Structure 1
Amino acid sequence: MKNDQKQSCLALAREVLHTEANAIIRLAERLDDSFTQAIELILSCQGRVVISGMGKSGHIGKKIAATFASTGTPAFFMHPAEAAHGDLGMLTERDVLIALSNSGESDELLALLPALKRKGVPIIAMTGRPQSTLAQEANLHLDAGVEKEACPLGLAPTASTTAALALGDALALALLDARDFKAEDFALSHPGGSLGRKLLVHISDVMHSGDALPRVLAGSSLKEALLEMTSKGLGMTAVCDAHGVLLGIFTDGDLRRTLDKTLDLAGLCIDDVMAHQPRTIEAHRLATEAVNDMEHYKINGLLVVDRENNLVGALNMHDLLKAGVV
């Protein structure tokens, strides 16, 4: 590609992005009571939000439906052509239909209006023409109009689809806020992804406990502590009193520091070389919080305690990597 062609390509790309960005900005400035009325209508819906649209509007509708569903508003996409051949039976008067059409004159959507009205299904139209048939026949109209498309030919839906998608996101997130939807709720809809693992995995799910937990009693020899560290394979051991209360920790790093100070390890007691007041975490906390603590304090492991400082578990960075939360 010649230099002048490269410059022309970049100039067109910037113009497309500016046009679409301006369309969203003007859309934000134009929001009015119809938006809040749509939120109220959806919040009062006892069924599902059904989203429908043809062509590019249909593609945008599918994404909006997916965003609704993952942020606390049950929703699905219904193809208007399929609806006219039986899928309309998916809707009841308990549902709300959001119909997308830039022109507001899509034949496939208009053909559904009589049946929808007979069923008593409330209709929210999202169009670029408030005077269109769909806008006029709907219970509510959301104006997603744009001054011009970003397409240099003025033909391909570009700015209009971007505006509709952004308006759908605005609806979904306003509903999320109104429902007091939390990160934990979001994770329940995404259990298979990395986000779900980060939000759903707790310390208790990944920690070593019981016989797998490295620990020695206060007063034990350093040799006993080293044998415990080797057998449990976590690179550390907790030091507790006879009642299980945590007193300290001894790690591979502590061993190296001890070797720097003396070569006579045989007579050492673990009390003399352990680190007092080790970093700890409680079992009910999220595993991602353990990651943050380890990174902040530059350590590779944590001991898990209850509220009375009794030792209940241990974990290291390898456990968190294995659980997929890092």
Structure 2
Amino acid sequence: MNAHIASPTPPAPGQPTAINGEALVRSARTVIATEAAAISALEPRIGPAFVEACRLILGCAGRVVVTGMGKSGHVGRKIAATLASTGTPAFFVHPGEASHGDLGMILPQDVVLALSNSGESDEVLFILPVIKRQGIPLIAITGNDQSSLATQADLHLDTSISVEACPLGLAPTASTTAALVMGDALAIALLEARGFTSEDFARSHPAGSLGRRLLMHIGDVMHTGDGIPVVNEDASLTQALMEMTRKHLGMTAVVDAERRLLGVFTDGDLRRALDDVGVDLRGATVASLMTRGPKTISADKLAIEAAQLMEKHQIHALLVVDHEHRVVGALNIHDLLRARVV
């Protein structure tokens, strides 16, 4: 009886028989070059229509309602999110859902920004009569200035491309990139026109790293009350060390009877005292060993300013004082790390 040798399983249709690294790199580089060319082609098209689109949005008493179908819809969602986070109130409405009730979300004081590479998306065109009937301004971003959407719009932004990055010319690639960049151009131009600042951006991103850096103040992270390491100027070295140990900040403030700051005693001061044979550690007061004129900060400053001050002067803790130089708080680098400021 002859043994049967199993034939190797042929690759599935459309699957390569082997991975060709050079071909993969070549393909990726072609895509990048094609899309870069599509973006470069947008620059000379930024002119009067773009300016009028910005003016229309800046004068809008409502919101920018972005809509688009398929891949244009995905790009539209991102554009709406970028607009909203940079000072232009905006949201996305799916054109299919709009024709089934969501058109009620679009108000006469709004501006509609519609995306379609062909300019002939049925779902988008279907809702245009309702938008036009209400007198809502319409800005179109398309790749065809003769399309139905482009010709019906009040303003048209041209994102036409010479070729898609997809070798089959089917998958939206360069066209969606061009539309996305046009949306970013709108958002940033509007941001600058509004005088939108990094602080404004942080207010819409309070949970992000920028929000923490720009919104968190010293008063939000500092130790207060019994959490502040503090001793009087006549305290002994032992008393100062006990206070530092209890409060876990690696230092203690030295204050007068009115709680005004006289100096600070740190781990570094202790090491220097131990190295100085002329110091009587048993009889010395903390005031004789402290650092006078230490770096301080006020509670209303941003937490990131404390981090910058620590980095500049190579210190790991700060005392917080009020306008009369009384100690009201303390913090160290670990407090800033826990707050994710640094």
Query: Which residue of 191, 208, 225 corresponds with 1:193?
Result: 208
Structure-2 residue corresponding to 1:121: 136
Moved more, 179-188 or 155-164: 179-188
Q: Deviations over 1:33-78 (max 9, x none)?
A: 1111111101111111100001100000000111111111111110
2:76 is matched by which residue type in structure 1?
G
- In the TM superposition, what is the alpha-carbon distance from 1:220 to its structure 2 partner? 2.5
Q: Residue 262 of structure 2: which of 243, 247, 263 is its match? A: 247
Which letter maps to 1:311? Answer: V
In structure 2, which of residues 45, 48, 52 is the aligned counterpart of residue 30 of structure 1? 45
CA distance in 2, matches of 1:119, 1:162: 31
Instruction: After TM superposition, list the pairs within 5 Å mapping 1:285-296 onto structure 2.
Output: 285-296=301-312
Match of 1:275 among 288, 291, 296: 291
Partner of 1:220: 235
Please state if 1:323 is matched with 2:339. Answer: yes
Q: How many residues align?
A: 326
1:89 aligns with 2:104: yes
Query: SS of the residue aligned with 1:64?
Result: helix
Inter-partner Cα distance in structure 2 for 1:65 and 1:4: 39
Aligned to 1:45: 60
The match for 1:107 is 122
Q: Distance in 1 between matches of 2:105 and 2:310?
A: 50
**213-222 or 50-59: bigger deviation:** 213-222
CA shift for structure 1 position 240: 2.0
Over the matched positions of the two proteins, sequence identity in percent amounts to 61
Flag as ranges the 4+ runs of structure 1 deviating above 6 A. Answer: 1-4
Where do residues 124-139 of structure 1 align in structure 2 (5 Å cutoff)? 124-139=139-154
Paired position in structure 1 for 2:248 = 233
Q: Which residue of structure 2 aligns with residue 56 of structure 1?
A: 71
Q: Which amino acid aligns with 2:161?
A: V
Q: Which has the higher helix share?
A: 1
Does residue 301 (structure 1) correspond to residue 317 (structure 2)? The answer is yes
Q: What is the letter of the counterpart of residue 117 of structure 2?
A: N
**CA distance in 1: counterparts of 2:336 and 2:192, whole angstroms:** 31
Listed as ranges, the gaps of 5+ residues in structure 1 are: none
Matched, 1:67 2:88: no
Q: TM-score, normalised by structure 1?
A: 0.95
Q: Distance in 1 between matches of 2:220 and 2:119?
A: 52
Q: Determine helix, strand or coil for the equivalent of 2:257.
A: coil
> Structure 2 residue aligned with 1:14, among 21, 26, 29?
29
| TM-score, length of structure 2 as denominator length | 0.91
Deviations along 1:178-223, one digit per CA (max 9) or x if unpaired, are 2222222222212223332222211011111222211122232222
CA distance in 2, matches of 1:321, 1:4: 46
Deviations 1:218-259 (CA, angstroms, capped at 9, x unpaired): 232222211221222211011222233222111112112211
Residues 269 and 2 of structure 1, relative CA distance in 2, 3 Å threshold: farther
Task: State the distance in 2 between where 1:224 and 1:13 align.
Answer: 68
- SS at the partner of 2:195? coil
1:266 to 275, 279, 282: 282
Distance 2:55 2:326 in 1: 50
Alpha-carbon distance between aligned partners in 1 of 2:158 and 2:245, rounded to the nearest angstrom: 68
1:115: how far off?
A: 0.8
- Per-residue deviation at 1:155? 1.6
Question: Partner amino acid for 2:209?
Answer: S
Instruction: Name the residue aligned to 1:211.
Output: 226
Report the aligned-residue RMSD: 1.8
Distance change >3 Å, CA 310–CA 29, structure 1 → 2: farther
Question: Which protein has the larger Cα radius of gyration, Structure 1 or Structure 2?
Answer: 2
- 1:103 is paired with a residue of what secondary structure? coil
Query: By how many angstroms is 1:4 displaced?
Result: 8.7
Per-residue deviation, 1:86: 1.1
| Separation in structure 1 between the aligned mates of residue 247 and residue 316 of structure 2, nearest angstrom | 15
Whole-Å Cα distance in 1 between the matches of residues 43 and 313 of structure 2?
Answer: 44
Kindly tell me: are residues 4 and 62 of structure 1, through their superposed partners in 2, closer, same or farther at Cα, counting changes over 3 Å?
closer
